[in-house]
Every structure is written in C-alpha cells, then in structure tokens.
Structure 1
Amino acid sequence: MGPGSPEGLLLGVALDALLGDPRRGHPVAAFGRAASALERRLHGDSRVRGMVFTAVLVGGAAGLGVVAEKAARGRLARAAVTAAATWAVLGGTSLGREGRHMARLLEGGDLAAARRRLSHLCARDPDGMDEKALARATVESVAENTSDAAVAPLLWGAVAGVPGLLAYRAVNTLDAMVGYRDPRYVRFGWASARLDDAANWLPARLTGLLTVACAAPSGRARQAWRALRRDGAAHPSPNAGRCEAAFAGALGVRLGGVNVYGGRVEERPELGDGRAPETADIRRAVRLSRAVTLAAVAVAAAVAAGRRRA
C-alpha cells in the first residue's frame, strides 16, 4: 500500500462538504449489512471467532482498496478513486449537521425530540436526560467523533491510500457494531474493539493537538493543552479522552459524569475545569470540530505529498 493521493484527499473532503453522506445506498451501510450477515454465521462466545470475523471484513475492505488503486492508472485516475473513497468514509459534514440539529431542538425546548435524536450521535440511554445532560452528551460526541469521522480516515488515507481509507472505516464500523462489553459481544467483539483502539491511537492524539492549535484564536490554547495533558488519560477509552479533554479546555466547559448505556451506569471522570456544557456550546463545538477537520486536511495532504516525493 502506497501513500494516498493528496489531490484525491482534498477533492474527497470537498465532496463531503458539498454533499455529506448519501441518504440511500451508502457504501458503509452496505458494509454493515455484509458484516451483519457474516456475524449471523460466525457469532459465538469466542475471541477466535471474533478474530476471524474481524480479519475477513477488514482484510476484504483493504483488498478492495488495493484492487481499486491498481485499476486506476495514472495520477488523475488515482486522484478520482481516492476522492470517491474519501467521500465515502468521511463523516465530518454529517457530524456537524447532527450537532446543529440537536442544538435547534434544544433551543426550541423540544426535549422529547432531542432525546430521540441522540441515538444518531451516541449509544447512551436518553430517558430522563435534561437539557444540560443532552448538551453534554452532544458536545462529547462531537469531540470524540471529530477523530473517528474525520481526522482518522484522513490520516490513514494519507499514509496508506485507498486501502487505508476503506480498512479504517471497516475497523471503526465493526467497533460500533460489536465492540460492546455486553454478554453477547464481550468476547466476540474483543478483536474489533482492540483493533479500533490501535487504529485510533495516533489520530486521537493528533486530534487533541490540532484542537489545541485551533483554540489559539479564542485565547484558550493553554487551557486546552492543560486539559489534554492532565485529563486525557483519565477517560476509560485510550483515545476518546484525548479528544474530549482538549475540546473541554478549548470550549471552557467541564465534560464527563454519569452516563447510562443499556441500563448500565458508568461514572466518567471530569475533563476540564469549566462549567457544565449548555445548549449554546453545541454550536461552538461544531465550529471547533470543523476547524480541527480543516487542519487535519492540511496535515493529511502534506503527509501524502511528502510520502509521494520520498
């Protein structure tokens, strides 16, 4: 696998900004259906079965990327293939739309609709959540998914081209499908969850650093850096905490607290020193996410161009 096409990455980002995710026929949805079909055949309370499941699907996605790149002869064709793959795997525009939609619902006082909509961003139980709890959940989801939906795929696309783009999205999708700690997936989903941790290790830390840089215009770079260094490792996820802590410092809010997943209560450590997030902070988080994504685009294009010259 060679480096990605910088022109293709830039064009793919532009397509995502203009079009967002397709409403029908999304390639990631098709991959999810294939994964569900394979899970029905392979599922068992076994790490080995889960490893086979993960290897087949991630390997298949990477192999498809290799075939697509080899079929694209010439720089223009490779840029076009990279652009299509980048558009297919990016989710930054849709993430921003979801965040703004949640903000509108909360601004309008429609808590019932906001609770129903929360599932588009995260897997928390929304029952009984008030406006501030919904605002915190949304800000945390925007922060974490800035890495998953934008920074990570761009970085993998820069380093490993179309195979890297498709393989990363496969890994991230499988983690969302089976990477839970409930009895059904605690062993079967182990490989998918651990592979997702590994694939996001560097992108999450890059997201934290880019967040610090993007906080400079608001004068909060020092606070973002302090929160990132002090609180980033406190989160139970090896990666999400870096993104959330940096966002907390950059926005001047305090994230973390009690979350409920499928009836299971988790007490998350506090990240940042500020006040509890409010509805207005959602739009601020979306703007910060967009700035971080644009910074990641520049980094990814530079990495891809440098690798191509090497």
Structure 2
Amino acid sequence: MIVAAGLDLLVGDPRWSPHPVVAMGRVITGLRHWVERGAGDRPLPLRAGGALITLVLVVGSGGTGWLLERLILPQSPLPHPLAAMLLVLALASALAARSLRDSVLAVLHALPDLPSARDRLSWIVGRDVSQLDQDDILRASAETASENSVDGLFAPLFWMLIGAGLWQAGFSQGPGPLALAWAFKASSTLDSMLGYKHGRLRWLGTAGARLDDLLTWLPCRLVLITLPLVSLPWTQWPTTVRAATADGRPDPSPNAGLSESIFAQCADVQMGGLNRYGNTWISKPVLSPQSGKATAEGVHKLLNLSLKLEASWLVAAAGWSLLQ
C-alpha cells in the first residue's frame, strides 16, 4: 500500500497504462444505453436498471481485483517480482492524489487568464464555469480539492487498508486491498457518471449514488477527526471538529459537506455559497465563515494538507501492522 501510494504521488496515471476507471466508464455507458432502450422514461424500470448496472459494475470490478490478487499468492504462476509489480500498479490506479493535485494546480497556473482557467476547471467540476470570475474559480478549486481528496484518495485508501487488514487477519482467500479498492472505485465512478437529479438519471443513478454515499460515509468521518490532528494544535481539535460538523451538516450530501468543511476549517479558507449547474442555481452552506476568501496560497495549503494526512494514515497503518 505504501509503495502504491508513493507511486501514485510520483507518477500519477501513466498515459501508456490502461486505466480501470476508463473501462468502468465504458461499461456504464454501454449498460446505460441498454437499460434506457428498454425502460424509456418509466421510473420503476429505470431504478431497477440502475440497480442492475450497480451490481454488475461493483461485483465485476471487485471480482476482477480479486482475480488479480491471486497473482501474488504462493501458487501464482507468475514470478513473484512481476506479480508484486502488477499489484502495486493496480493499487496505484485506484488512488487519485497526483491526478487531483495536477488538475487543481493547472487551474491555478492558468490564472489570471480567465478563459484558460475556466476551461481547465471545467474538467474537474460539475458546475457551470462560463461566468466565473477569479474569486469564484479559486473557491471552486478549493472545494473540488477538498471533496475529491476524500472521494479520490482517502476513501479508496481506507478500503485498501481494510482489505490488507483482512489478509493479515488470516482471510487470505477473501477480497483483499485491490478487490475492495476497485469495488469502491466502481461505485464512485457510477456516482460521478449517473448520480444527478435530472432527467432519467433521477431514477437510473439512485442505486449507485446511495452505494457511494454508504461506502464513503466512514472514510469521510475519519478524515473529519484526523485532519485537525495533523494540521492544528491538538487543543483546537474539539472546537474544529464541532465547527466543521455544524457547518457541513446542512449540505444535502451526507459526505461532501463534511469533507469540504473540515478542510475549510483546517486551511482557514471560506467555501460554499451559490453555484450554478446548467440553468439551476444551488445555494450551498457557507463553510468556515470566519475565514477569508480562497486564494492560490489557500488552495496550495489544502493540497499539502491532503499529502500530510495521507502520509499520517500510511504511517499509522504500518505501525499497526508491525504490532500485530
């Protein structure tokens, strides 16, 4: 896990390597077209079809990971160094620390060229960016860096650690770190592609979105309670966690509000407010209202806090494994 996380941070996703999320996306697109042809605009068949897509993708992705894990077992037909290298590459593919960091920094580097910054931002956020000024672009960058650090890094890392723990506990034939990480990645990809409340997706994306909320629930709250420990004096931990919880709870998402809120508190960056999605304006709760507006320096601080927390999780996991 430590090697995989380091590889993700150093090289990200190599362009020469096929990425599992791309394959997941193609499967989702194909299954969506198949379901919509049969279900039309009928809510119940769309919900059932969405549940079927979720089952196929999550079980298929986790099962593929489980099969690849068999390559590192003693009876593997592959040489051990090659099998270990394949596992590390597959684990790294489930983490998005480097890709998220590079994408957010690309937006910052484009400023103050607003058209270029908006174009780069449009690749990593769902909101309408066409009219955003520099302050809005910086706020959007801060928010996506915070929310996606949980979705793209800490949640898959959490499930990797759970899988490694199961192996260490003697369940070597069960799902391990790759199987659980890829199963989570499948649910996250489903949510990002289908988890919208408009058109047919109101029903088609329900199952995937709810599963993603469920699988992200505990990792999100672990970030909530651990991020202040690596970023602030320990005496500020109780008030920071309480403030972040109070600010983030009104968000309609059970996880996104808390994810953004704890990063806002720890980096002293204000987030939230009005966002435009297509022709709809959505008002998000203001997070860390006592803080100043997002700046380039504040966004850099958010990204560095993610790296610091990731390192702390890995050190804690390594220490726990040595004690067993």
TM-score (norm 1): 0.89
Residues 1:278 and 2:295 aligned together: yes
Query: Which of 12, 32, 39 is the equivalent residue of 2:32?
Result: 39
- SS of the residue corresponding to residue 122 of structure 1 reads coil
1:198 maps to 214
Gaps of at least 5 residues in structure 2 are 164-176
Residues 1:265 and 2:270 aligned together: no
Q: What is the one-letter code of the residue matched to 1:283?
A: H
1:290 maps to 307
**Sequence identity, in percent?**
33
Larger Rg: 2
Q: Is the contact between residue 32 and residue 173 of structure 1 (CA under 8 Å) also seen in structure 2?
A: yes
Shift in CA distance, 79/60, structure 1 to aligned 2, threshold 3 Å: same
Q: Is the contact between residue 103 and residue 280 of structure 1 (CA under 8 Å) also seen in structure 2?
A: no
* Superposed displacement of residue 63, structure 1: 0.9
Matches within 5 A, 1:75-154: 79-106=84-111, 109-154=112-157
Residues 1:250 and 2:253 aligned together: no
Q: Is the contact between residue 138 and residue 282 of structure 1 (CA under 8 Å) also seen in structure 2?
A: yes
1:10 maps to 2
Distance 2:245 2:273 in 1: 19
Q: Is the contact between residue 231 and residue 271 of structure 1 (CA under 8 Å) also seen in structure 2?
A: yes
Distance 2:275 2:14 in 1: 31
Distance 1:102 1:47 in 2: 37
- SS of the residue corresponding to residue 252 of structure 2 reads coil
Shift in CA distance, 82/302, structure 1 to aligned 2, threshold 3 Å: farther
Q: Is the contact between residue 16 and residue 93 of structure 1 (CA under 8 Å) also seen in structure 2?
A: yes
Say which is worse superposed, 278-287 or 216-225, in terms of deviation: 216-225
Distance 2:234 2:122 in 1: 31
* Superposed displacement of residue 243, structure 1: 1.4
Distance 1:270 1:135 in 2: 15
Q: Is the contact between residue 268 and residue 298 of structure 2 (CA under 8 Å) also seen in structure 1?
A: no
Q: What is the one-letter code of the residue matched to 2:263?
A: F
- SS of the residue corresponding to residue 285 of structure 2 reads coil
Distance 1:218 1:101 in 2: 33
Instruction: Report which structure shows greater RCO (CA 8 Å, sep ≥6).
Output: 1
